[in-house]
Structure 1
């Protein structure tokens, strides 16, 4: 029974995890808007979600070792492959953060995150009603 519930919520769990990660990336871009040579980053949410649902993740790339005594490590940039945002207009200090774009992306992501949370909350309420029979 628990595995059926886990399977029912797996997609939403992946989506909310990616939305949360994207929120952190966008907040970092906004926080570094005045940092010289900072390069704004983001990722393609839809392709990252497709890969996460399929079981493929961009993170945890294993390092090659030549002997069994080497320590294992990973190159982890999170659950999605981060890309640099293409600047619409260059700046003198090399910073590529465009606050209008970042605010719009942040707001859109926040709305999508809230919608996902409300969807899961509604599903849980439906399940609780079914269990309690009220």
Structure 2
């Protein structure tokens, strides 16, 4: 019998960690591009990404590129595309060069997401330990 992902704690924690890692990648990209002209700060709603992952919808930020001729260049990775989950952050004070990254705001979101990711890891670890104790018959 296959459990619904919301009720399978291991699957839930796994998808939660993947959603947090996806958001961390986006926030890190914002910080890395803080000085890039015309770069627009982006983010995702964690709850929306988690819900989609639990429903089995794969969220990728890269497209794969097919090589159809031997004269085509070899590629590493794929091309970035606009994911419908990505939202643009509205800056409090946009820069003259068109960059909308506020480094302080991004660092705050990055740190908050990192703490939530650490908490998710602790819950995941606790869930595994509980199952191992139940299997081995050890008292909790």
Q: Could you tell me which residue of structure 1 aligns to residue 51 of structure 2?
A: 50
Q: Could you tell me which residue of structure 2 aligns to residue 90 of structure 1?
A: 94
For residues 127 and 13 of structure 2, the distance between their equivalents in structure 1, rounded to whole angstroms, comes to: 11
Greater per-residue helix proportion = 1
Query: How many pairs were matched up?
Result: 120
Residue 102 (structure 1) aligned with residue 103 (structure 2)? no
For residues 24 and 88 of structure 1, the distance between their equivalents in structure 2, rounded to whole angstroms, comes to: 23
Structure 1 residue 124, shift from structure 2 partner: 0.9
For residues 127 and 78 of structure 1, the distance between their equivalents in structure 2, rounded to whole angstroms, comes to: 40
Alpha-carbon spacing, 1:15–1:40, altered in 2? closer, same or farther (3 Å): same
Structure 1 runs of 4+ off > 6 angstroms? none
TM-score by length of 2: 0.73
Structure 1 range deviating more: 8-17 or 104-113: 8-17
For residues 79 and 8 of structure 1, the distance between their equivalents in structure 2, rounded to whole angstroms, comes to: 27
Gaps of 5+ in 2: 62-78
Residue 28 (structure 1) aligned with residue 32 (structure 2)? no
Structure 1 residue 78, shift from structure 2 partner: 8.9
Q: Could you tell me which residue of structure 1 aligns to residue 121 of structure 2?
A: 117
For residues 80 and 9 of structure 1, the distance between their equivalents in structure 2, rounded to whole angstroms, comes to: 27
For residues 83 and 135 of structure 2, the distance between their equivalents in structure 1, rounded to whole angstroms, comes to: 34
TM-score by length of 1: 0.76
Alpha-carbon spacing, 1:50–1:79, altered in 2? closer, same or farther (3 Å): farther
Cα RMSD for the two superposed structures: 2.8
